[in-house]
Amino acid sequence: MFVAIVEKFLSEESLLKLRAMLFPSVLIDLGHLSAADSVRFFEQTCKVNKFYLTPARIRHLADLTGGYPLMMVEHVKKYIDFA
Number of domains in the chain: 1
Range of the domain at 45: 31-82
CB 53 within 8 A of CB 82: no
Does residue 22 form part of some domain?
A: no
Residue 5 lies in a domain: no
* pLDDT (0 to 100) of residue 82: 67
In a domain, 69, yes or no: yes
Does 21 fall in a domain? no
> Is residue 3 domain-resident?
no
Distance CA 12, CA 7 (A): 11
Structure confidence by residue, pLDDT tens digits, 43-80: 999 999 888 999 999 999 999 999 988 889 899 988 87
What digits encode the pLDDT tens for the residues 8-28?
Answer: 788 999 989 998 998 888 887
Does 17 reside within a domain?
A: no
In a domain, 23, yes or no: no
* DSSP string across 35-82: HHHHHHHHHHHHHHHT----HHHHHHHHHHHTT-HHHHHHHHHHHHHH
Lowest mean pLDDT among 1-5, 9-13, 35-39, 64-68: 1-5
- The pLDDT value recorded for residue 24 is 86
